[in-house]
A = this chain, B = another copy of it.
Amino acid sequence: MSIRVGILGYGNLGRGVECAVKQNEDMELKAVFTRRAPESVKILTESAKVYSIDDILTMKDEIDVLVICGGSATDLPVQTPEYVKYFNVIDSFDTHARIPEHFANVDANAQQSGKVGIISVGWDPGMFSLNRVYGNAILPMGCDYTFWGKGVSQGHSDAIRRIEGVADAKQYTIPVPEALAQVRAGETPELTTRQKHTRECFVVAKEGADLARIEKEIKEMPNYFADYDTTVNFISQEELVKNHSGIPHGGFVIRSGKTGWNNENTHIVEYSLKLDSNPEFTASVLVAYARAAYRMNKEGMKGCKTVFDVAPAYLCAQSGEYLRAHLL
Instruction: List A residues at the B interface (Cβ < 8 Å).
Output: 16, 18-20, 22-24, 44, 96, 99-100, 103, 120, 125, 127, 129-134, 136-141, 144, 184, 257, 259-261, 265-277, 280-281, 283-285, 288, 291, 306-313, 315-318, 320-321, 323-325, 327-328
Give min CB distance, A27 to chain B, whole Å: 10
A284 in contact with B139 (CB, 8 Å): yes
Identify A265's interface contact among B140, B259, B277, CB under 8 A. B277
Docked complex Cα distance between A316 and B134 (Å):
8
6 A-B pairs, CB-CB below 8 angstroms?
A20-B259, A129-B327, A137-B316, A138-B288, A139-B284, A268-B273
Q: Is the pair A316, B136 in contact by a Cβ cutoff of 8 Å?
A: yes
Q: What residues of B have a CB within 8 angstroms of the CB of A267 in the complex? A: 273-277, 280-281, 284
Are A280 and B260 in touch, CB under 8 angstroms? yes
Q: What separation, in Å, do the CA atoms of A261 and B14 have in the docked complex?
A: 12
Q: Are B260 and A277 in contact, with the CB atoms below 8 A?
A: yes
Separation in Å of the A228 CB from the closest CB of chain B?
Answer: 24
Whether the Cβ atoms of B100 and A321 lie closer than 8 Å is yes
| With A19-B260, A139-B284, A267-B273: A308-B311 Cβ-Cβ less than 8 Å | yes
Query: How many of these chains are in the complex?
Result: 2
Nearest B residue to A268, CB-CB: B274
In Å, the complex CA distance between A260 and B276 comes to 10
Looking at A265, A315, A318, which has the most chain B CB atoms within 10 Å of its CB?
A: A265
What's the minimum C-beta distance from A77 to chain B, rounded to whole angstroms? 16
3 shortest A-B CB distances, which residue pairs? A137-B315, A265-B276, A308-B313
Cβ-defined contact, B316 with A133, below 8 A:
yes
> What separation, in Å, do the CA atoms of A23 and B257 have in the docked complex?
11
A138 to chain B, nearest CB (A): 5
Q: Which residues from B are CB-within-8-Å of A274?
A: 184, 267-268, 270
Q: How far is the CA of A285 from the CA of B135 in the complex (A)?
A: 10
Q: Among the listed B139, B269, B308, which residue makes an inter-chain contact with A324, where contact means beta carbons less than 8 Å apart?
A: B308
> Complex formed: what's the CA distance from A139 to B123 in Å?
13
Cβ-defined contact, B324 with A133, below 8 A: no
List B contacts of A18 (CB < 8 A): 261
- B320 and A309: CB pair below 8 A? yes
In the assembled complex, the Cα of A16 lies from the Cα of B22 at a distance in Å of: 46
Q: How far is the CA of A140 from the CA of B311 in the complex (A)?
A: 18
In-complex Cβ contact of A137 among B283, B312, B328 (8 A): B312
Neighbouring B residues of A276 by C-beta, 8 Å: 259, 265-267
